[in-house]
Amino acid sequence: MTRPPVPRWVTRSLGLGAVGFSAAAVVFGLWVMGPTAEQGDYSRLLVVHPPVATYAYVGFGITALASILYLIPRTRRREWDLLAGASAEVGVVFCGLTLVTGSIWGRPVWGVWWTWDARLTAEALLFALFLGYLALRRVPASEEVRSRRCAIAALIAVLDIPVDHYATTWWQTLHQGSSIDLLQPDKHLDTAHNVGLLLGFIGLGLAFAWLVIQRYRVEKLEARYEQEGLDLALEARRAEGDIPSDRVGAPV
Amino acid sequence: MWRDAALVAGKDLRIEARSRVATNQVAPFALLVLVLFAFALDPNRAVLKQAAAGLYWVAVLFCSLLAVQRSSAVESAEGARDQLRLSGLDPAGVFLGKAAAVAAQLLVLELLLGAGVVILYDVRLASLWLVTATCLLATVGLAAAGTLYGSLAAGLKVRETLLPLLLLPVAAPVLLSATEAWQAAIAGHPGDGTQWLRILGVFAVIYVAFGVVMYGSLLEEA
């Protein structure tokens, strides 16, 4: 019998919080926030775009940290590798969302879906780097070989981020500067936009945490399945008890 | 460490000299890429001249993929990797040696491609020192990052398709900076190229240092 890696009430609260705050952000973004003078209705994307971009970075940061912990012999545990994988997967989804939401905004405001702007190029490269990392995670190889190589690949990818970033920030950039400044909350935005942005950050942050925990849980079960076979994995699923035991392992 | 590096580099270069893959396959491939670019952009010679720097570095990048693939294939065949571990060589030395062998091959290819660009695309390299410095720094960076990723993908069933996916995005800053530096060299404004040389230098130092530290851990698990 295994316990879930994070108590169930925590994941449930995270999930419910994510739904609640995201719904509030949607309501705020669509009805409470008014259109801005410069960007009109498109400024409403502010609720989504900066948070997903930020959490993509957070995801890759967690992957790098977990990879370092896996590589240090004293702290080496399989769990760090699983966390690195889970976090990278969610990071890639958020990075993809950043590109998509940016594109949706860019079409009406810049007149193009995509442009070879410094920020966009760096983000697209980041996306490609971690897609490569995820591909490496799926190669058929022994667990130890794969985990170690993945940890090193994650660190190489992370090393490349500042080089990419600085190589491209010396270009002329179309992408606007930061819209928010923690020291001056109302630098560019009115209160409604600030609150909408905050709700977006909280809602998507909770969703990010919830997704990472769920992916980690699945990765852990997959690892168990690889090690101990399907029977034990089914047993663990039954023990978690959120679906009736006769349905777990029933023929599908 | 340096002695080990020289031994490994000598071994890899001897294998390449004997198998003649670099001269019989990779070098003609490099020239073919240049010719294909010319076919694709043919009617407009001015565009070709304008894009020469970028096309040159894309061709170098393709060649580096082949060189790296060869370099790691040599180790994965017939348990050579285990023999390398048994030999008691310093892993950092092995990394430096393998990277140096890749770099040496790349430099020769770059020379060949450079001649190709000058002759086929009618480009004049106004600032030779900038061109040379760019090639040297970019090659060190590419060889170091390539050797690392080559070893990451070595021995896996899907290595041929995995390596480009892993290496090309990492090498993007090299492509960007080397192209900008070359453009400055072609335009005859070497001053504009120095900041790009700095990025190439940073890239090379980061990946050489990372390889020296991490390569042992990669060799260990084989």
- Distance of residue B154 Cα from the nearest chain A Cα, in angstroms: 10
pLDDT per residue as tens digits for the range B116-171: 888 888 888 888 889 999 999 999 999 999 999 888 887 777 778 888 888 898 88
> Which residues in chain B are contacts of A152 at CB distance < 8 A?
148, 152, 214, 217-218
- Name the burial class of residue A70, with classes exposed (0-12), middle (13-18) and buried (19+) by CB atoms within 10 angstroms of its CB: buried
What distance in Å separates the CA atoms of residue A108 and residue A112, rounded to the nearest whole number?
Answer: 7
Sites in chain A below the pLDDT cut of 70:
1-3, 164-165, 167-189, 242-252
- Distance of residue A160 Cα from the nearest chain B Cα, in angstroms: 6
What distance in Å separates the CA atoms of residue B111 and residue B132, rounded to the nearest whole number?
Answer: 10
Residue A176 is assigned to a structural domain of this protein? no
Token pair of A177 as six digits: 């500067």
> Which residues in chain B are contacts of A144 at CB distance < 8 A?
221
Crossing angle of helices B190-220 and A143-169, rounded to 10°: 170
B170 contacts A167? CB cut-off 8 A? no
Beta carbons within 8 Å of A111's beta carbon, 6+ residues apart: none
Q: What local confidence, expressed as pLDDT, does residue A133 receive?
A: 93
CA angle B84, B90, B92 (to 5 degrees): 105
Q: Which residue type is seen at B158?
A: V
Q: Report how many domains make up chain B.
A: 1
Which is more confident, B218 or A76? A76
Task: Name residue A40's beta-bridge partners.
Answer: A36
Give the structural domain span for B120: 2-220
> Which residues in chain A are contacts of B147 at CB distance < 8 A?
none
Residue A212 is assigned to a structural domain of this protein? yes
Q: What local confidence, expressed as pLDDT, does residue B133 receive?
A: 92
B148 contacts A156? CB cut-off 8 A? yes
Q: Cα–chain-centroid distance for residue B110? A: 9
pLDDT per residue as tens digits for the range B1-24: 788 888 888 888 888 888 877 777
Cβ atoms within 10 Å, residue A240:
15
Q: What local confidence, expressed as pLDDT, does residue A169 receive?
A: 65
Residue A73 is assigned to a structural domain of this protein? yes
- What b/e string do you get for B60-76 counting C-beta neighbours within 10 Å, with b at 16 or more? bbbbbbbbbbbbbbbbb
Tell which of A131, A156, A164, A169 to mutate to test the B interface (max B CBs under 10 Å).
Answer: A156
pTM exceeding the 0.90 threshold for the entire prediction: no
- By C-alpha distance, the chain A residue nearest B151 is A149
Give the structural domain span for A108: 8-30+45-171+190-238
> Which residues in chain A are contacts of B218 at CB distance < 8 A?
148-149, 152
ipTM of this complex prediction, to 2 decimal places: 0.81
Task: Name residue A36's beta-bridge partners.
Answer: A40
Q: Report how many domains make up chain A.
A: 1
What distance in Å separates the CA atoms of residue A68 and residue B147, rounded to the nearest whole number?
Answer: 20
- Distance of residue B156 Cα from the nearest chain A Cα, in angstroms: 7
End-to-end Cα, chain A, rounded Å = 24
Residue A137 is assigned to a structural domain of this protein? yes
B166 contacts A132? CB cut-off 8 A? yes
